[in-house]
Amino acid sequence: MKVYTIDPLRDPRWAEFIDRHSSASVFHSPAWLEAVRRTYGYTPVVYTTSPPSAPLSNGIVLCEIRSWLTGRRMVSVPFSDHCEPLLDSPDAGCAIVEELRKAVAAGKWKYLELRPMSEWPALNGAVKSIFYFHMLDLRPSEDELLRQTHKTCVQRAIRRADREGLVYESGNSERLLHAFYRLMVQTRRRHQLPPQPLQWFRNVAACMGDRLQIRVAFKDGKEIASILTLQHKDVVVYKYGCSDTAFQNLGGTQFLFWKTIVEAKAAGLTCIDFGRSDADNPGLIAFKDRWGAKSSQLTYLRWSRKPAPDVTSRRSSGLVKQFFALMPDAVLQATGRILYPHIG
Determine the number of helices (DSSP H) and then strands (DSSP E) in the chain.
11, 12
CATH number of the domain at 206, please: 3.40.630.30
* Residue 309 covered by a domain: no
Both 34 and 115 in one domain: the answer is: yes
Write the pLDDT tens digit of every residue in 297-312: 999 999 998 765 544 4
Whether 42 is covered by a domain: the verdict is yes
What are the two backbone dihedrals, phi and then psi, of residue 33, each rounded to the nearest 5 degrees? -65, -35
Residue 232 parent element (H or E): strand 222-232
Enumerate residues 6+ apart whose C-beta is below 8 A from 78: 36, 40, 42, 63, 65, 343, 344
pLDDT single digits (tens) 185-202: 999 999 999 999 999 999
Question: Quick check: is 307 in a domain?
Answer: no
Residues 163 and 229 grouped into a single domain: yes
Please check whether residue 182 lies inside any domain of the structure. yes
Please give the tally of structural domains in the chain.
2
Same domain, 149 and 22: no
329 in a domain, yes or no?
no
Same domain for 237 and 102: no
Q: Which of 94, 124, 154 is the last residue of a domain?
A: 124
pLDDT confidence of residue 80: 97
Task: Please give the pLDDT value at position 196.
Answer: 97
ω into residue 204 within 30 of 0, thus cis?
A: no
- The reply to whether 187 and 211 lie within a common domain is yes
- For residue 170, the Cα-to-chain-centroid distance in whole angstroms is 20
Does 323 map to a domain?
A: no
Distance CA 16, CA 30 (A): 10
Burial class, 270, CB count within 10 angstroms (exposed 0-12 / middle 13-18 / buried 19+): middle
- Res 321: pLDDT: 76
pLDDT tens digits, 85-142? 999 998 999 999 999 999 999 999 999 999 999 987 656 788 999 999 999 999 999 9
Q: Which domain holds residue 205?
A: 134-298
Question: Which residues of the chain are under the pLDDT cut of 50?
Answer: 310-314, 316
pTM of the model: 0.94
Residue 216: Cβ within 10 Å count: 25
